[in-house]
Amino acid sequence: MRRRLFGLLVCMLILLIPVVFGLNVFGRSMSNDEYVDAPVWSIGDSWTYDVEFDQRFDQNNRFHWFIDDMCFTVTEDTGSVYKLDFVGNITGDIEHFPFSKHLKGGTIEGYEMVEKTNLGLLEIVAHIDGVSSFHHWSSEVPVVVDVRVTFDPVFALLNFPFFVGKNWIYNSSTVTIDYTISTFGMPESMHKVIFIEAGPVSCAGKEVVSVEAGVYEAFEVDVQEGLLEIYYAPEVANVVRVSGMGPARFTSVDMELVSTTYTPLGAPGKPSQPEGPTSGSAGEVYTYCAST
Inform me whether the pLDDT recorded for 172 exceeds 60: yes
Q: Lowest mean pLDDT: which of 174-178, 243-247, 263-267?
A: 263-267
Per DSSP bridges, beta strands 99-115 and 121-132 are antiparallel
pLDDT of residue 290: 58
pLDDT of residue 261: 98
Could you tell me if 232 and 207 are in contact, meaning their C-beta atoms sit under 8 angstroms apart? Answer: no
- The domain defined by 31-260 folds into Lipocalin (2.40.128)
Inform me whether the pLDDT recorded for 5 exceeds 80: no
pLDDT of residue 248: 72
What pTM value is reported for the model?
0.79
Q: How does pLDDT run across 30-88, given as a tens digit for each residue?
A: 445 688 999 999 999 999 999 998 887 677 778 899 999 999 999 999 999 999 999 99
Domain residue limits, the chain: 1-30, 31-260
Q: How does pLDDT run across 153-165, given as a tens digit for each residue?
A: 999 999 999 999 9
